[in-house]
Amino acid sequence: MLERSFLIEQVIEAWQKLQANTPLVQCITNQVASNYAANVLLACGASPAMIDNPFEAQSFTHISSALSINLGTPTEQQMQAMQISAQTAQQYQKPWVLDPVGYSSVLKWRSDMVDVLLQYHPTVIRGNASEISTLAGNQSSSKGVDSTLSSDAVYAQAQNLLQHCDCVAISGASDYILSDEIRQVIKINGGSALQPKVTATGCALGALIAAYCSVTSPMLACVTAHVHFAIAGQLAAERAPLIGQFSVAFMDELFSLNAEKIVQYADIELLG
């Protein structure tokens, strides 16, 4: 059984490794999130590359430290690149994250591609509660690409997704991490209600998980990325309660995270 104090030590170590290694993260993401996700990766210590065309996908995935695939606003070329990059990542044992944005019967074209991508065994599947619930085979509704479910109502349903990946990360008011490494479910509290009001925060979180996957285990990568976001969201909201101010402050807090803040503010629970 994991101990919370040991887990926090591991989170600090993963954060330090990210700063030291500056991993190159290939992002095939949506047009809404592309600029924001790139800036989040830079603020957190990684190096983003938004290579999302099929003509360069194989060669670039081969040299990347990690891959993030996000189905937010897919184009035909992106769809081709996603499949090529996911296959290449599996072939060369590169960690990669699948964010099945909008997965539902309503958005069938992208959802069918998610089903195809699962055969390449993503390292992590990351999504909101509605996406994860539907992907796990449950009937769920969503409001566009936004969740209509709470994360605490879904994490038990997500267990069977571990047959397709090493780790499942469910974001919400509290975040839940399921992993084949441990029997416990990890719950991460904190953050701010303002985070969902900033476009692409969830998409950027998927890219950050990919970055952390290049320097540590999938479980610790998910935990560390979520803790990084939760602390930044909490501290940003304390000094910038308006949405425009918060967006800037959140980026600043992502950049200024340190070991002392992790020890002081990380709110992690281990569920049996």
pLDDT tens readout for residues 134-145 = 999 875 554 444
pLDDT of 83:
98
pLDDT tens-digit series, residues 146-161: 445 666 668 888 999 9
pLDDT of 137:
86
CA-wise closest residue to 145 among 194, 74, 210: 74
22-31, 74-83, 149-158, 237-246 — which is least confidently predicted?
149-158
Please name the residue that has the structure tokens 């003509």: 55
Annotated binding site: 50, 126, 171, 200
Residue 79: its H or E element = helix 76-91
Q: What are phi and psi of 128, to 5 degrees?
A: -80, 175
Count of Cβ atoms closer than 10 Å to residue 73 Cβ: 16
Annotated binding site for substrate: 50, 200
Greater model confidence, 145 or 171? 171
Query: Rounded to two decimals, what is the model's pTM?
Result: 0.94
| The amino acid at 15 | W
Annotated binding site for ATP: 126, 171
pLDDT tens-digit series, residues 92-123: 999 999 999 999 889 999 999 999 999 999 99
Q: Which residues contact 50 (CB under 8 A, 6 or more apart)?
A: 27, 28, 29, 34, 38
Please name the residue that has the structure tokens 């285990």: 217
Reduced 3-state DSSP string for 9-35 = HHHHHHHHHHHHHCCEEEEECCCCCHH
What is 4-271's CATH superfamily? Ribokinase (3.40.1190.20)
Q: What is the mean pLDDT of residues 193-211?
A: 96
Rounded Cα distance, 74 and 38, in Å? 18
- Decide the pairing of beta strands 185-189 and 175-179: antiparallel
| The amino acid at 235 | L
Give the percent of the chain with pLDDT over 90: 86
Please name the residue that has the structure tokens 């170590």: 13
- Decide the pairing of beta strands 124-128 and 167-171: parallel
40, 99, 148, 226 from 220: Cα distances, Å: 19, 18, 27, 10
pLDDT tens-digit series, residues 52-108: 999 999 999 999 999 999 999 999 999 999 999 999 999 999 999 999 999 988 999
